Amino acid sequence: MGGLWEMIILKLGGSAITNKALEFSVNHARLVNIVSQIKRAGVADFMVVHGGGSFGHVLADRYRIQHGRDPEVKEQAFGLGLTQMAMEDLNSEVINAFLELEIPVFPVQPSAFAVLSCGKISSFPIAAIRGLLNVGLVPVLYGVPAYDLKQGFGILSGDAIVPYLARKFKASRVILVSDVDGVYDCDPKSNPRARPIKILDEKAFNRISTESKRGWDVTGGMGRKLKELLRLSKSGIRSQIVSADGNGLYRALKGEKVGTLIK
């Protein structure tokens, strides 16, 4: 790896690659735009994590998977499998979009090896991911329902996988692609007068609102995402949130300060 190691962790937000208001609907135009920009930027060392959007969150919410095993929830165990399969369907779409542009991705299904404890990562071996990178493949991970030591099962969110991998692989940068072009002082989707934040630090975070009107994100939405990213920046890894539309991702990959920088 040496000093030239430039590992980028790319999170494709479920908000970006699906139509969040429509169950099980992929936003193909966005997905193609994202993958084309990655291809055009010619990045070599990177891995991808994607979220659930209208695939994972709806089912996880319906069967209350994020709170663990609950005998009150009808057919919850069955719902666990359904949620997993929905995420695999979305993952197939993501994988195909990359393969189509001849980017050698490889799907990595986290619940096959990850163990949670109270919803947090307790064990997450990375030998296979490291090996895949070493042989020139781009691992693509995604948020999933997973076994939990304390509560039976829970949700391993893409937003939790991102900082975990960033630390383990000493990533140089983390880029998150979203359906918004960065962080605002409040949700720009419900407030047309929301003002963009170029640089988000702890102080700025305490002054903004991350309340979302839609109750679909079972993993904490923008608020929890930003908390994790601010913690990550304390360990020296910066992240950037950019739009899935236009050419923001290309510019970010080329080192431009578009969107919001978290530090």
**Residues of the shown chain interacting with ligand ATP in the complex, contacts defined by CB under 6 A:** 13-16, 51-53, 57, 158, 178-180, 183-184, 186-189, 208-210, 212, 217, 219, 221-222, 225
Question: Rounded to the nearest 5°, which phi and psi values hold at 35?
Answer: -65, -35
Quick one: which H or E segment has residue 229? helix 221-234
Q: Which of 148, 179, 217, 245 binds Mg ion (CB under 5 A)?
A: 217
Minimal distance, residue 102 CB to ligand ATP, in Å:
26
Cα separation of 178 and 187, whole Å? 13
Nearer Cβ to Mg ion (181/217): 217
Q: Tokens 């090896």: give the residue.
A: 113
Candidate ranges 86-94, 105-113, 198-206, 213-221; the one touching Mg ion (CB under 5 A): 213-221
Nearer Cβ to ligand ATP (179/245): 179
CB 141, CB 161: distance < 8 Å: yes
Nearer Cβ to ligand ATP (217/228): 217
Minimal distance, residue 72 CB to ligand ATP, in Å:
25
52 binds, among ligand ATP, Mg ion, none (CB under 5 to 8 A by kind): ligand ATP
Tell me the three state secondary structure of residue 102.
coil
Question: Rounded to the nearest 5°, which phi and psi values hold at 64?
Answer: 45, 45
Tell me the three state secondary structure of residue 17.
helix
Minimal distance, residue 4 CB to ligand ATP, in Å:
31
Cα separation of 65 and 73, whole Å? 9
Minimal distance, residue 218 CB to ligand ATP, in Å:
8
Minimal distance, residue 251 CB to ligand ATP, in Å:
19
Question: What single letter denotes the amino acid at residue 98?
Answer: F
